[in-house]
């Protein structure tokens, strides 16, 4: 098989990955809906009503005291990370009830009601909204993570772009390496064919 035929064959084989790279590359450059998909959703906090005094724990490295719709939250960091404590007893705070999780997340949704809508149900620390966005509460850090269909689409495009087309990491790695080898070979064959034609016509 001569270089021209090999170049055409390799071009046909690489057509699907090249189309995938081009299409997803446009998305990654323009980043439509990225701001909404990766928007930070903070817990809504309120001014302190009065001064709070407490004795810090010996192993606490950092302290945060905030007030939410549920009341005061004492967040202290040690070698294992942040954990929430009772401001009065300094004992680890009890896990919130379903009603408390709903109230805390529901209060945060007012920052962007068009995206988040309203809470339809709560399962543990996770709330499911009327717009399809799933919001998870990290109680120890008092933070929220939101994930909608738009982020799922973006991550699917990411997998397509990097040839992560299967559920097996090893296979995906092999596809990525083969794709790069195919692209490099296609480029070198095209250059070699061009140079050969240039010499023959000279």
- Residues 144 and 74: beta-carbon distance below 8 Å: no
pLDDT digits (tens, 9 = 90+) for 15-74: 787 887 888 888 778 777 788 899 999 999 999 877 777 777 778 888 899 999 999 999
Q: Is the pTM of this model over 0.85?
A: no
Rounded Cα–Cα distance for residues 170 and 178 (Å): 12
From the list 88, 45, 52, the residue with the least C-alpha distance to 69 is 45
């Amino acid at each position: 098989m001569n270089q021209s035929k090999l170049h055409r064959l390799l071009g046909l084989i690489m057509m699907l990955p090249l189309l995938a790279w081009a299409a997803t590359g446009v998305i990654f450059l323009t980043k439509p809906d990225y701001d909404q998909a990766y928007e930070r959703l903070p817990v809504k906090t309120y001014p302190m009503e009065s001064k709070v005094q407490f004795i810090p724990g010996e192993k606490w490295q950092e302290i945060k005291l905030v007030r939410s719709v549920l009341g005061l939250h004492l967040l202290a960091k040690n070698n294992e990370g942040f954990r929430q404590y009772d401001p009065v007893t300094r004992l680890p705070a009890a896990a919130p009830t379903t009603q408390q999780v709903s109230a805390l997340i529901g209060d945060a949704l007012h920052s962007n009601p068009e995206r988040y809508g309203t809470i339809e149900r709560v399962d543990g620390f996770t709330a499911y909204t009327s717009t399809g966005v799933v919001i998870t509460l990290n109680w120890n850090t008092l933070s929220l993570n939101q994930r909608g269909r738009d982020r799922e689409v973006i991550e699917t495009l990411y997998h397509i772009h990097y040839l992560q087309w299967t559920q097996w990491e090893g296979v995906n790695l092999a596809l990525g390496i083969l794709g790069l080898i195919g692209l490099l070979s296609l480029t070198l064959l095209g250059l070699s064919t061009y140079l050969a034609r240039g010499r023959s016509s000279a």
